[in-house]
Amino acid sequence: MSDIINVETNLAINFEHIYVGYGKKTILYDINLQIKKGNMVAVIGNSGAGKSTGIRCMTAQIIPQNGKAYTSGISVKNREDVQGMIGYVPQLEYVSLYYDFNAIQNALFFGRNYGIKDEIIKQRCQEIMEILGLSQKEFLKKKIKLLSGGERKRVSIMIGLISNPEILFLDEPTTGLDPHLRIEVLNFLHKINKKYGTTIMIVSHDLECVDYCDQVIVFSEGVLVDSRKPRNCVESLPNKGFGYEITFEELSIEQEEILSSIKKLIYFLHIGRNKFKLFVNSNTDFVEIVQILIQKGFKIKKYNKMDSTFLDYFRIMSKYKYPAISTKMKHDAKIKQPKLNGEN
């Protein structure tokens, strides 16, 4: 493979043994990641796990310490070429928008930077704002500082798309929006993905975005611990993700500890005030568990079998699996890491 161009690929992102950090400090260890062009991808993980660092490397804002990283087939070492092919919507709109300009003026400012003609910029601005549900003239001519948070977010997404990028990266596009708008923004991004075939990468703590995505990637403590279709994640749980939601009359703190001692309970999650979700193997009859619970003094109000969501999966993995997986992966990656330039 050439060091600069990775032509034969239909991959939007191709990372091979990537280590990324700041100065000599490494934050991401031995990342191997392939993302197909045209996919919509959720990038998730706890705070400090390395999501933004990963996105900064994909968008050529930082160059990896080791390994090969290609975005849209171009090595991220070629910052200008990579950045000419992508759109980036930062978490905070004031970084990407001029508040004294209106939406059209912002579009013209950023579009001209890409050498696009004014007529095309205006046409594109109108078209994207229509998909985003904000194409009325009076809105497009209002200064950004007079718009609501959700309206600014949509202008910021329009600016990210003004150059017709192959890939759009969005850092926390739904954070701080009301529940209705959070879903609307995801609906808009989905439409853009379908209409233009734009690859979309969404960094988010709001896990409802996973529902819209073809692929979910999970960072934990600087390593990549999952990269799969969301449905495959859920189906990897016991019983293909079917668990039992159980509501108790009341609960004491000790009762959670008692649940931990029941061997046939593979996993349990506290999902509401007096409510748990319990997972057993497919060969365990749940009635056995119910009897054990009654013997141990639990007062059961009701229970029923239910499918799981990605949130259930993520919570289970974070509680039972990711910590050990990431410690092992990071340990192995440190042993393999080539020495950095100038390091003894």
Please, which residue, 58 or 289, has the CB nearer to ligand ATP?
58
In the complex with ligand ATP, the residue whose CB is nearer, 58 or 103, is: 58
Q: Rule CB under 6 A: is residue 156 a binding residue for ligand ATP?
A: no
Q: Which does 277 bind (CB under 5 to 8 A by kind): Mg ion, ligand ATP, none?
A: none
Q: Which is nearer to ligand ATP, 55 or 132 (CB)?
A: 55
Count of residues engaged in binding ligand ATP, rule: CB under 6 A: 10
Residue 93 and residue 106 in contact, taking contact as beta carbons nearer than 8 Å: no
Cβ 330 to Mg ion shortest distance, Å:
19
Nearest to 68 by CA among 79, 52, 57, 55: 57
**How many Cα atoms within 13 Å fall on the side-chain side of residue 290?**
13
- Closer residue to ligand ATP, CB minimum distance, 27 or 82: 27
Minimum Å distance from CB 40 to Mg ion? 19
Question: Minimum distance from CB of 83 to ligand ATP (Å)?
Answer: 18
Q: Which letter does DSSP use for residue 183 in this model?
A: H
- Point out which residues bind Mg ion (CB under 5 A): 52
Task: Give buried/exposed letters for 321-341 (b at 16+ CB in 10 A, else e).
Answer: ebeeebeebbeebeeebeeee
CA–CA gap between residue 94 and residue 158 (Å, rounded):
14
How many Å is the maximal CA-CA distance in the chain?
A: 75
Torsions phi, psi for 32 (to 5 deg): -120, 120
CB closest to Mg ion, residue no? 52
- With H, G, I as helix, E, B as strand and everything else as coil, classify residue 246: strand
The CA-based angle 148-149-152, given to 5 degrees, is 85
Residue with Cβ nearer ligand ATP (22 or 320)? 22
Closer Cβ to ligand ATP, 53 or 174, answer by number: 53
What's the closest the beta carbon of residue 146 comes to Mg ion, in angstroms? 29
Helices (H), the chain: 51-58, 79-83, 93-96, 103-113, 118-131, 137-140, 149-161, 179-196, 230-235, 253-261, 286-295, 310-316, 322-336
Q: Min. distance of Cβ 28 from ligand ATP in angstroms?
A: 8
Q: How far is the CB of 105 from ligand ATP (least distance, A)?
A: 30
Q: Does 27 bind ligand ATP (CB under 6 A)?
A: yes
Q: Which does 144 bind (CB under 5 to 8 A by kind): Mg ion, ligand ATP, none?
A: none
Give yes or no for residue 204 binding ligand ATP (CB under 6 A).
no
Answer whether 219's CB lies under 8 Å from 51's CB.
Answer: yes
Which of positions 32-71 make contact with ligand ATP (CB under 6 A)? 45, 47-53
- Please give the residue ranges that form the binding site for ligand ATP (CB under 6 A): 22, 27, 45, 47-53
